[in-house]
Structure 1
C-alpha cells in the first residue's frame, strides 16, 4: 500500500529534480530519502526516476505517479479539514423537530435561519409533528433536538431545557361579545360558560394541561366542544364560530381573518413555555454548537426585552 509519507517525498524529489535538495526541503538526510525512493520503485515494480549526471527526472511512469500523488495528497488534506470541521461542529448533519406552536414563536425560525447562515457546512433537516411523535423520533435517533411546549417526564433517556416562557391569549371569533366589550385584560373566570376549542392533548399535552389547570384554579372546568390536531386548525375552528380558545401569544402573528385576541388576567400559571428536548449524553459537536447559538439568541432576546421595558 502506498503511504502518503512516501508520496510526499516522491513529489519533493520530482519537483526539485535532485535528491539532495529534496532531502533538504524535507528536513531529512539524503541516504534515507534514496532508500525511500528505491523501496517505492520496488513496490511498484517500475523505475520512477531517471538518474542524470546532475540530478534526476521522472520517467513516464514517474510522471503518471506524480499527477496521481498530487491528487491523493490534496484529497488527504481535504479529508483532514473535513474531519476537523466535524469535530468542531462546523460540518455534519442536524435534525431538528418542533411542534406547530413552537415554530410560530419568532425565536425558533430566527435561530434556525441564523445557524444555517453561520454554519453552511451543516445540513439542517426540519420536521414538524406533535410532541409524542417528536419524542419517539428523539428516542430512535431520527432527531437530534426538538422544540416542545412541555417538560419531559417518564423518559429517562431524554432531557428538556427551558428556553423561554410567553403569555397566553384568548382567541375568539371577531364578532363575539367578548371581543366587543373592550381591550382590558379579561378575568379567566368570565369564560366559565363559554365553549372551548383546544389543541388535542395527545399532540400538545403541555399546553392542554396548562389551560385545564388554569381554568380549574379559576373555579370552573372548560366545556371542550372540539379538539384539533394542530394549533393552526384550532384557530380555523375559532374563526368559524365553534368556540373560544387559549393560545400562546406568538400565535397572534398568524393574523387570521375572523379572529380577535384579548389578554387574560387572574391566571398567573397560564403561560406557554418553550423547551429544547435532546437525548441525555448526546455529545454531538454539531448539537452543542446549535445549543450555543440558541442560548445566545435567548440572551439577546432577554436583553432586548429589558431595554424595551426600561
Structure 2
C-alpha cells in the first residue's frame, strides 16, 4: 500500500463519486477505479458500495477512513518536519564560548536575534577555554564557538570576524597607580601579572605578553587563573595586575579598578568558529546572522 492509494481512497470517499474524485485528483477515471479495486484486493474487503449515483463507504470503508485520514496527516506532518529541519528551522544548535567572549554584547545580541529568527531551534550553551572549544568543535559536540582569534587557524576550522575589542588594565585598589585613569604599561614592569595558562587561552596570553614586550619589558609571571573571571578576583586579592578585554570590565568586584593603557593600542579579536564547509542548515543560518550583524556594525 502506498500513500497515493490512501489519497485516492479518501478523495473517492469525500466525493462519493469516482468521476468527480478523478477530476479532483487530476487523473483519469479508469486508472482511479483500478487503483481502488487494487486497494480493496490488497485489504481483502470491499471499501465502497456502488450505487446508481456514485459510491458509498461500506462498514469496512468507514473504519478504514478513520485511520487513513490519520495516516495521511502523519505523512504530511513528517514531510513538513523534514523540510523544516532541512531549512534549519528546527533541531538543536550547540554553541560554545570562552569566558571573555561571554561578556561581549555582540555575542548576546547575535544569540538573541537567532532565537527570534528560529524560535523552534533549541540552544545549548557551553563555556570553555579556546583549546577545549576547538576540540569540541572538531569532534562535533559544538556547532559554533565564540573564541579569541590568534594568528594560527587549526585545520578544518573556519573563523568569522565578530569584533575587535580593546584591552584594559585591571589593578587592585591598593596599587600606587590605582587612581590614574590612564597608565603606561611600562609602569607595571615590576608587578606580577595574573594570567590564564597559555595552553588554555593562547591568544589572550600571547596578546598580553606581546604587549608587555612591545612596551619594553618581560612580564613577571604571577598566579595563574583558571578562567577570566578568576583573573579579576585574584587581582582583587592583590596577587598582581592584568590586562583584560574591555567587556570584562562589567565584572564589578570590590577591590579592583580598571584603567586605560596610556599610549597603547592593545586589542584582541573575537571570532566565531565553525567547521569548514559545513552543510548543516541551522549552523549556516547562525553564521548568516553573524555576518549580517558584523556587516551592519561596520556601516
Same fold (TM over 0.5): yes
Distance 2:295 2:275 in 1: 23
Mapped pair 1:294 → 2:290: yes
Mapped pair 1:218 → 2:196: no
Mapped pair 1:206 → 2:206: no
Distance 1:137 1:223 in 2: 33
Offset of residue 97 of structure 1: 0.6
Show the counterpart of 1:23.
Answer: 22
Shift in CA distance, 120/255, structure 1 to aligned 2, threshold 3 Å:
same
Select between 18-27 and 223-232 the one with higher mean Cα deviation: 18-27
Mapped pair 1:50 → 2:46: no
Select between 58-67 and 126-135 the one with higher mean Cα deviation: 58-67
Distance 1:291 1:152 in 2: 21
Offset of residue 89 of structure 1: 2.0
Show the counterpart of 1:104.
Answer: 103
Distance 1:93 1:128 in 2: 17
Offset of residue 174 of structure 1: 2.1
Offset of residue 19 of structure 1: 1.1
Superposition map of 1:131-210 within 5 A: 131-151=130-150, 153=152, 155-180=154-179, 182-183=180-181, 185-210=182-207
SS of match in other structure, 1:177: coil
* Structure 1, gaps ≥5 residues long: 304-310
Show the counterpart of 1:240.
Answer: 237
TM-superposition CA deviations, 1:38-88 (whole Å, max 9, x none): 000011111111122221111122112211121111122222222222222
Distance 2:153 2:107 in 1: 26
Show the counterpart of 2:247.
Answer: 250
- The question of whether the paired residues in 2 share the 8 Å contact of 1:169 and 1:261 is answered with yes
Offset of residue 123 of structure 1: 1.9
SS of match in other structure, 1:193: coil
Select between 10-19 and 61-70 the one with higher mean Cα deviation: 61-70
- The question of whether the paired residues in 1 share the 8 Å contact of 2:197 and 2:224 is answered with yes
Q: TM-score, normalised by structure 1?
A: 0.92
- Aligned-residue Cα RMSD (Å) equals 1.5
TM-superposition CA deviations, 1:12-44 (whole Å, max 9, x none): 100111111111211222111111100000111
Offset of residue 152 of structure 1: 6.6
Shift in CA distance, 152/42, structure 1 to aligned 2, threshold 3 Å:
farther
Offset of residue 204 of structure 1: 1.1
SS of match in other structure, 2:177: helix
Offset of residue 153 of structure 1: 3.1
- The question of whether the paired residues in 1 share the 8 Å contact of 2:149 and 2:203 is answered with yes
* Structure 2, gaps ≥5 residues long: none
Superposition map of 1:1-20 within 5 A: 2-20=1-19
Distance 2:231 2:103 in 1: 14
Show the counterpart of 1:272.
Answer: 268
TM-superposition CA deviations, 1:88-138 (whole Å, max 9, x none): 222222111111101111111221122112201212221101111111111
Q: How many residue pairs end up in the alignment?
A: 299
Distance 1:291 1:201 in 2: 28
